[in-house]
Amino acid sequence: MKGKTMEAIRALGAMSGTSLDGVDAAELITDGETIEGFGATGYLPYSAAERARLRAALGQWQDGPDVPAAAEVVETVHARLLSRFAEARVVGFHGQTLAHDPERRRTHQTGDGALLAEVLGRPVVWDFRTSDVTLGGEGAPLAPAFHHACARHVGAAEPVAILNLGGVGNLTWADPRRGMAEPGALLAFDTGPANAPIDDLCMDWLGQPFDRDGHLAREGEADMALVDAFLRHPFFFRMPPKSLDRDAWRQAGARIDALPPSHAAATWVAVIAASVRHALTQCPIPPSRLWVTGGGRRNPAIMEALATLPVRPEPVEAVGLDGDMLEAQAFAFLAVRVLRGLPTSFPGTTGVGAAVGGGIVSRPEGAVDDLPTSARHRERGRIAKAR
């Protein structure tokens, strides 16, 4: 049934990013190739205690001591939010990335999609990254297929770039003149750190989860010598596609974090802008537009720093997209692609040798639906009491 024709359905995607702020959920009406429309959205923040449990598990693999508690948080908060969306026929569940090491062909997104399928009473598509990493890909970023569909949806006629500033920055270069799976249609890669080091700084020094309105960074002055030193990190000399773990910069950024807090925040902002500038030089041709999504677009200090780039940055709202929900919408889109047996990552997006269809479909026990069944399945895994 691979590639079986399918009418557009209402899918629900969920995303809990590396900034650890909470869970986004968004409906998308799609056949996995085109965007027919957008539906309802929602957001549920993590409490301070829940965020602390997630933070304690960062960097740990499946057998880590803090992983069960983190998984419970992820599953509980997702279940609370996703249960509000009664009309969606399938759910795309990303889980929470705790560790990512594609060089050793391993990645860890905690949260059991099979458990969620039982709680929600509908199919859940999850574990999107493992197949790609197992086959030698970076496993990230995964949103480029959706970004390409977005470029076509808004009528772009030339190559564009979408910059996602979450905990880590990533860039998608998309040529809407080519089909998504055609060579040269997509290039995607992580650009460097984004909100994560600033968020950590604010939590450590101010007890707040992020730099609201860029106040802390605007009070400081960037140490450009440290910015230049940071950009000598080997990551920036690698050709894309390439990806990063959230905490890959702890050692490289130690000298920045040792600065007074406002100067450290200002320096991290300068690092973000410099890394994006470098990323644009790695695109096949300069993009005609640069659309910014993710939480970083709401930080005026970051957006002011990006204004010095050769292409003017614009929030994705400038073309009618929702920058708060784009990642969640992407996993709704990918869920439908998995149902249809279509690829979710490509050589130009993750460096995998050939297009890969990742993801696992879990259906509630005894459920019957008319959705395609071409995706691989897993037994229900651990089915615990609803939390």
Q: What's the rounded mean pLDDT across residues 281-292?
A: 97
Q: pLDDT tens, 303-328?
A: 999 999 999 999 999 999 999 999 99
Residues 52, 189: one domain?
no
Residues 109, 230: one domain?
no
Residue 227 covered by a domain: yes
Q: What's the rounded mean pLDDT across residues 126-142?
A: 93
Q: Is the pLDDT of residue 248 over 70?
A: yes
Residues 175, 294: one domain?
yes
Cβ density class 172-202: b for 16+ within 10 Å, e for less: bbbbbeeebeeeebbbbbbbbbbbbbbbbbb
Residue 370 covered by a domain: no
Residues 119, 134: one domain?
yes
Residue 165 CA: distances (Å) to CA of 6, 198, 222, 294, 296:
33, 12, 19, 5, 5
Residues 203, 250: one domain?
yes
Residue 93 covered by a domain: yes
- Look at strands 360-362 and 124-126 and give their pairing: antiparallel
CA distance 74 to 263: 34
Sign of CA dihedral 297, 302, 305, 310: negative
Residues 166, 286: one domain?
yes
What is the number of domains present in the chain?
A: 2
Residues 129, 267: one domain?
no
Q: What's the rounded mean pLDDT across residues 376-386?
A: 35
Q: What is the mean pLDDT of the chain?
A: 92
Residue 374: pLDDT band (50, 70, 90) is low
What pLDDT score does 17 carry?
A: 84
Residue 90 covered by a domain: yes
Residues 61, 184: one domain?
no
Q: HSE of 369 in the Cβ direction (CA atoms, 13 Å)?
A: 18
Q: Is the pLDDT of residue 378 over 80?
A: no
Residue 379 covered by a domain: no
What pLDDT score does 377 carry?
A: 42
CA distance 120 to 260: 47
Residue 55: pLDDT band (50, 70, 90) is very high
Residues 351, 209: one domain?
no
Q: Is the pLDDT of residue 361 over 90?
A: yes
CA dihedral 128, 106, 281, 160 (to 10 degrees): 0
Q: What's the rounded mean pLDDT across residues 99-108?
A: 90
Residues 21, 130: one domain?
yes
Percent of the chain with pLDDT over 70: 95
DSSP 47-109: PHHHHHHHHHHTT--TT-TTHHHHHHHHHHHHHHHHTT--S-SEEEEEEEEEEEEGGGTEEEE
Q: Enter the tokens of residue 143.
A: 């949103």
Residue 100: pLDDT band (50, 70, 90) is confident
Q: pLDDT tens, 143-179?
A: 999 999 999 999 999 999 999 998 899 999 999 999 9
What pLDDT score does 86 carry?
A: 95
Residue 28, classified by CB atoms within 10 Å of its CB into exposed (0-12), middle (13-18) or buried (19+), is buried
Q: What's the rounded mean pLDDT across residues 45-59?
A: 95
Q: Is the pLDDT of residue 6 over 90?
A: no
- Bridge partners (DSSP) of residue 43 are 24
Place of tokens 């939390």: 387
What pLDDT score does 97 carry?
A: 92
For residue 202, give its domain range: 156-319
What pLDDT score does 244 carry?
A: 79
Residue 339 CA: distances (Å) to CA of 41, 90, 132, 344, 372:
22, 9, 17, 11, 6
Q: pLDDT tens, 329-350?
A: 999 999 999 999 999 999 999 9
Q: Is the pLDDT of residue 110 over 70?
A: yes
**3-state class (DSSP) for residue 226:** helix
Q: Is the pLDDT of residue 381 over 70?
A: no
In the sheet with 290-293, reading across from the earlier edge strand, the strands are: 186-193, 168-174, 160-165, 290-293, 313-315
Q: What's the rounded mean pLDDT across residues 62-80?
A: 97
Residue 373 covered by a domain: no
- For residue 123, what is the domain's CATH number? 3.30.420.40
Residues 195, 49: one domain?
no
Least confident of 29-43, 151-165, 238-252, 261-275: 238-252
Q: What's the rounded mean pLDDT across residues 185-198?
A: 95
**Domain endpoint, select from 266, 292, 319:** 319
Residue 374 covered by a domain: no
Other CB atoms closer than 10 Å to residue 56's CB: what's the count?
15
For residues 338 and 375, the answer to whether their CB atoms sit within 8 Å is yes
For residues 361 and 334, the answer to whether their CB atoms sit within 8 Å is no
How does DSSP classify residue 309?
Answer: S
What pLDDT score does 380 carry?
A: 35
Residue 278 covered by a domain: yes
Least confident of 77-86, 140-149, 246-255: 246-255
For helices 326-340 and 144-153, angle between their N-to-C axes, nearest 10 degrees? 100
Residue 154 CA: distances (Å) to CA of 5, 92, 176, 366:
23, 23, 10, 40
For residues 263 and 201, the answer to whether their CB atoms sit within 8 Å is no
Q: Enter the tokens of residue 353.
A: 């040798």
Residues 176, 277: one domain?
yes
Residue 375: pLDDT band (50, 70, 90) is very low
What pLDDT score does 269 carry?
A: 98
- H or E element that contains 187: strand 186-193
Q: Is the pLDDT of residue 369 over 90?
A: no
CA dihedral 80, 12, 314, 219 (to 10 degrees): 20
What pLDDT score does 5 carry?
A: 61
